[in-house]
């Protein structure tokens, strides 16, 4: 306490602060949002009430994302778990990517899932998405049960030895189990938010 008291009475020289983010945590109720997809249709998270939902943050210009799309990581997961009733929603909070740019990416990659356009970054900030990719899993009760990286292979050098955290977590959720690795440090490019 002595330290604190003295600290308060001495004149200020320098203050450097990194602002706090809003954000969500594992165990929180996933906040609802509404965004337009690449066809201009409004999509809300609440449309999928009762379902397991994966949120993926996307920026097609990020090399980490490019590698995963070249390898088909997201598409394979979305297809495989889609057959088990899991909903895959991709959110693009990149400030310069509008509906047309996202539609072009969806078409060129023949994606079976929706890309939601978040140019304002509002939903990205709501979830405190920091990287592309940044992954979130919401269980059927609307609770966030996984937040973090897609896998443990940021350099893409592990091949078949990589652990896909999202697949492992989805298997556990679908089996009615608690997610063992519920949080990891996401890797990738920073989300290119609107300034």
d(CA 157, CA 7): 49
Based on CB atoms, which residue is closest to another protein, 34 or 180? Answer: 180
Cα 68 to its chain centre, rounded Å, is: 14
Structure token digits, residue 124: 């990205």
Please report, as ranges, the residues that interact with another protein according to CB under 8 A.
3, 6-7, 10-22, 26, 61-64, 66-67, 95-96, 121, 125, 130-131, 148, 154-155, 179-195
Residue with tokens 């009615």: 176
Q: Burial of 92 by CB count in 10 Å (0-12 exposed, 13-18 middle, 19+ buried)?
A: buried
d(CA 165, CA 112): 21
Cα 142 to its chain centre, rounded Å, is: 15
Based on CB atoms, which residue is closest to another protein, 79 or 95? Answer: 95
Based on CB atoms, which residue is closest to another protein, 32 or 66? Answer: 66
Based on CB atoms, which residue is closest to another protein, 79 or 181? Answer: 181
Q: CB of 89 within 8 A of CB of 43?
A: yes
- As beta bridge partners, residue 135 has 56, 148
- State in angstroms the smallest separation of the CB of 184 from another protein: 6
- State in angstroms the smallest separation of the CB of 156 from another protein: 8
d(CA 148, CA 155): 16
- State in angstroms the smallest separation of the CB of 194 from another protein: 7
Based on CB atoms, which residue is closest to another protein, 87 or 123? Answer: 123
- State in angstroms the smallest separation of the CB of 129 from another protein: 10
- State in angstroms the smallest separation of the CB of 9 from another protein: 9
- State in angstroms the smallest separation of the CB of 151 from another protein: 13
Q: CB of 113 within 8 A of CB of 91?
A: no
Structure token digits, residue 42: 């409004």
Based on CB atoms, which residue is closest to another protein, 87 or 150? Answer: 150
């Amino acid at each position: 306490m002595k330290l604190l008291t003295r600290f308060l009475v001495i004149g200020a020289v320098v203050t450097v602060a990194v602002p706090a983010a809003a954000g969500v945590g594992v165990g929180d109720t996933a906040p609802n949002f509404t965004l337009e997809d690449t066809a201009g249709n409004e999509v809300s998270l609440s449309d999928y009430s009762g379902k397991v939902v994966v949120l993926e943050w996307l920026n097609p210009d990020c090399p980490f994302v490019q590698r995963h799309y070249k390898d088909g990581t997201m598409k394979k997961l979305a297809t495989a778990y889609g057959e088990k009733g899991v909903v895959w929603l991709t959110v693009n909070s990149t400030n310069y990517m509008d509906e047309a740019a996202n539609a072009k990416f969806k078409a060129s990659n023949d994606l079976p899932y929706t890309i939601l356009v978040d140019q304002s970054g509002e939903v990205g900030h709501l979830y405190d998405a920091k990287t592309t990719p940044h992954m979130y899993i919401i269980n059927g009760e609307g609770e966030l049960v996984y937040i973090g990286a897609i896998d443990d292979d940021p350099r893409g050098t592990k091949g078949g030895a990589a652990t896909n955290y999202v697949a492992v977590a989805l298997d556990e959720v679908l089996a009615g189990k608690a997610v063992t690795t519920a949080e990891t440090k996401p890797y990738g490019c920073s989300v290119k938010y609107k300034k």
